[in-house]
Copies of this chain bind each other. A is one copy, B any other.
Amino acid sequence: MPHFLNTRDADFEARFTALLGMKREDSPDVDAAVAGIIADVRARGDAAVIELTSKFDRLDLTPATLAFSEAEIEAEIAKVSAEERAALELAADRIRAYHLRQMPHDAMWRDMSGAMLGWRFTPVSAAGLYVPGGLASYPSSVLMNAIPAKVAGVQRLVIACPTPGGVVNPLVLLAARLAGVDTVYRIGGAQAIAALAYGTETIVPVDKITGPGNAFVAAAKRRVFGKVGIDMIAGPSEILVIADGDNNPDWIALDLLSQAEHDESAQSILITTDQGFADAVTRAVEKRLETLERRAIAGASWRDFGAVIVAKDLSEAAALSNRVAPEHLELCVADPDGLAEEITHAGAIFLGAYTPEAIGDYVGGPNHVLPTARSARFSSGLSVLDFVKRTTLAKMTPESLKAIGPSAETLAKSESLEAHGLSVRARLAALNEGDE
């Protein structure tokens, strides 16, 4: 059974705090192993990557077969059904259209002192996307990572995707093709992250690495952060549904389960103002769990981390949701737009009963790579902004330097940085001479 809470109960605050603090994931401490793998790849390049791939993925590669060839990609893509291809194309088109709107704008203006100020955005030159192998090898994630990069103008875009035993998901390769990925390496784990960050004889290093992965991948990303940019360290994901009593319990049950089926450590929370509806959803979840393909995973997640909370009103529900800062938030209420105004922390909001979270996972348009584990308090989902950087611009005129230069000198002096002050003073002296 999930956790049942009612904000009217005396122990609510204690139980809600416990729910928030619940440790949902045991990340094994693989940091020492990962440090060794990274050092090995830096020292021995391709040879290390090939050995580690043989060991972990039971796949023997050579420098020439580290990447899929065009012919291999074509052969795999040919296996994809027309229906799947059409769905992937629709998803790619909608994701591209959404992300095109995110392109930030350059700016340049003259301020009151006469100085020109502004900024310019430029794309990251090369990006690497990590795509997990096996069960969690999601073509939709390829689109969600690669399309923002291409929209941003990234010139070289590569994928690292382990293929344990040589098995690859053809849809992953099709998604890579649709998104404009240049190269797909069949490598994974910390060795793939190290190769992307530092390069090998065969693999040209990239400047930014994004994409989800297991504990080894996460630890490796944390370690190479600084040498390259990374997106975020993804944790177990969550959905929170705020629903009034005027909803179909089965729809809401399926939305909760669509999160729970991802992972035993996923979390699904319903907050409703209607006790009867809470009970109906609970029953609907139980019923769906009888037949769901992934009922073992979804059932464990729902039992251990699921929660049904009855709140006094929708504002209280929104305040509780803000404390959770959920990755996904559904607002299944009469006025979802109004309630959204009260939401301060959430990765993505799905407005109204006709917007199941699954739409956002595939074809809605917004990115499905979202801040997990309460990190929506301080971070955002993946976007075009992750693949560009901003250069600030400043251009003084002689007049503007005369106006503000002396203050810079004063502050440089106060910080004991003499050359800073002199670099301004020398110019001001020349300008003042010129005035005489």
Chain A interfacial positions (CB closer than 8 Å to B) = 83-84, 86-88, 90-91, 94, 97-98, 101-102, 104, 107, 109, 111, 115-117, 119-120, 122, 124-125, 135, 138-140, 171, 207-208, 222, 225-226, 228-229, 232-233, 235, 248, 250-251, 254-255, 257-258, 260-262, 288, 292-294, 298, 336-337, 340, 343-367, 370-371, 373, 375-381, 383, 385, 389-398, 400-401, 404-408, 410-412, 414-424, 426-427, 430
Contact = CB atoms under 8 A, between A and B. Distances in A.
Nearest to A155: B344
Contacts of A394: 348-351, 355, 359-360, 364-366
Identify which of A292, A337, A361 gathers the most chain B CB atoms within 10 Å of its CB.
Answer: A361
Contact of A358 (B87, B125, B408): B408
B420 A361 contact: yes
B412 A362 contact: yes
B395 A262 contact: no
Copies of this protein, total:
2
A293 B416 contact: yes
A392 B367 contact: yes
B423 A358 contact: yes
A396 B222 contact: no
B122 A365 contact: no
A391 B288 CA distance: 30
Contact of A419 (B260, B375, B379): B260
Given A362-B408, A392-B366, A426-B248, A378 B419 contact: no
Nearest to A104: B104
Nearest to A366: B392
A295 B344 CA distance: 51
A375 B88 contact: no
B373 A94 contact: no
A408 B359 contact: yes
B356 A427 contact: yes
Nearest to A230: B378
A408 B361 contact: yes
Nearest to A405: B359
26 contacts: A84-B414, A90-B404, A117-B366, A122-B345, A125-B344, A138-B415, A226-B373, A226-B375, A254-B426, A257-B419, A261-B417, A261-B420, A292-B419, A294-B418, A340-B393, A343-B391, A349-B391, A351-B393, A354-B397, A357-B423, A358-B412, A358-B421, A358-B424, A362-B408, A364-B394, A380-B389
A426 B347 contact: no
Which residue, of A104, A140, A254, A360, has the highest number of chain B Cβ atoms within 10 A?
A254
Contacts of A349: 391-394
Report which residue of A208, A394, A404 has the largest number of chain B beta carbons within 10 angstroms of its beta carbon.
A394
A208 B375 CA distance: 10
B222 A122 contact: no
Contact of A140 (B101, B208, B343, B415): B415
Contacts of A389: 345, 371, 376-380
Given A125-B345, A351-B394, 17 more contacts: A84-B410, A84-B411, A87-B414, A91-B407, A98-B117, A104-B104, A117-B365, A122-B345, A125-B377, A251-B426, A348-B392, A354-B398, A358-B423, A361-B408, A362-B407, A362-B411, A363-B407
Nearest to A86: B407
A354 B391 contact: no
Contacts of A410: 83-84, 86-87
A102 B414 CA distance: 29
Nearest to A364: B394
Most chain B Cβ neighbours within 10 Å, of A340, A351, A362: A362
